[in-house]
Structure 1
Amino acid sequence: MADLENLKFPIGRFNAPETITTAHIKSWIEVIGSFPERLAAAIGGLRPEDLEKTYRPNGWTIRQLVHHCADSHMNSLIRFKLALTEDTPTIKPYAENLWAELTDYDAPVGSSIKILEGLHERWVKLLENLTEVELEKQFFHPESKELISLKQNIGIYAWHCNHHLAHILIAKDS
């Protein structure tokens, strides 16, 4: 079971620091900013059959992981904007496993790389300009029943980038 847990969470689960500092936020934004380039490099040169490799039994394929990142990061940017423009909004969860089964996940992975490049450019612009007050703004996640601050969510998504990049690197070597 421990091996399956290591494959599912190869970099461990996200654990927010007790105190999130400016240095944490800066580092996390750099991770988010560099993700599209790191992802494109990781999948560059893969053959179509390589994109069907998985990182664990019954796990997503590399193709599904790339498309999931585009979907997840689009949702995250929208959640940031909702938190910045509304008073502690309740965000809309989505069935990511079901989304991964939709026919658009058969599209070339380059389409999601293009989405991620533009999305991350705008997202980083937004993140780099958040004020201390804005970083404290929150949204409510109805599945986890948690209030999540924007500064914590920056860390969650830096982790998310590295988490799925690790999955892809494991799948490539499988």
Structure 2
Amino acid sequence: MDLEQLRYPIGPHKGKSEYSPDEVKTNIQIISALPSKFINLLGSWDDHKLDTPYRPGGWTVRQLVHHVADSHINAYCRLRLALTESNPTIRPYEESLWAELPDAQTASIELSLQLMKYLHLRWVLLLNSLTEEHLQRTYYHPASEKTVRMDEYIAMYAWHSEHHYQHAYLLAQRNNW
């Protein structure tokens, strides 16, 4: 695999102008499945494997797992803001700097796997309750200067889930782990 394939194993995110109810449902299922997929893949990995970058110049698997937990906590909060405020401006964060913090570099992945497990239970419960009207609600992302609809948001985090899972999965495949 070349570096671009290692960076984007399922390709870059390509949003659409709208999503059908079936696409939204499928995207929610992808989000729902992520914690179990990570637990099944990474549950027996030792520190050597967890501290291996998934690509040259990339995060370690440990940092990747902690990043997904951090990102999905932010995503859950963004959803709640969008559902309770009129087009709120969300607060971006420096994910690359968060991945360099001591907990992201050294903490047991079990902490983030358990966090994801229970966070995703709450998140998916809320996602499954959304009506067509809810899916049209928005938030404003000041870093990208874009207004994001909830159906787009769900698709983006489904992509994010599979994107990062594939980083770890393909590393395991390449190393016969």
Class of the TM-score when normalised by the shorter of the 2 chains? over 0.9
Q: Distance in 1 between matches of 2:131 and 2:40?
A: 33
SS of equivalent residue, structure 2 residue 87:
coil
Q: CA deviation at 1:171?
A: 2.5
Q: Distance in 2 between matches of 1:16 and 1:42?
A: 28
**Kept in 1: contact 2:18–2:151 (CA 8 A):** no
SS of equivalent residue, structure 1 residue 15:
coil
1:5-49 deviation digits (Å, cap 9, x = unpaired): 111111001112343000001101111111100011111211111
Q: Distance in 1 between matches of 2:145 and 2:40?
A: 37
Which residue type is aligned with residue 122 of structure 2? R
1:149 aligns to 2:157 (yes or no): no
Match of 2:25 in 1: 26
SS of equivalent residue, structure 2 residue 10:
coil
SS of equivalent residue, structure 1 residue 49:
helix
After TM superposition, the runs of 4+ consecutive aligned structure 1 residues lying more than 2 A away are: 16-19, 170-174
Larger deviation, residues 120-129 vs 11-20: 11-20
Please give the root-mean-square deviation of Cα atoms over the aligned residues, in Å.
Answer: 1.2
1:136 aligns to 2:126 (yes or no): no
Residues matched between the structures, number: 173
5+ unaligned residues in a row in structure 1: which ranges?
none
Q: Distance in 2 between matches of 1:36 and 1:104?
A: 19
5+ unaligned residues in a row in structure 2: which ranges?
none
Match of 1:124 in 2: 124
Which residue type is aligned with residue 6 of structure 1? Q
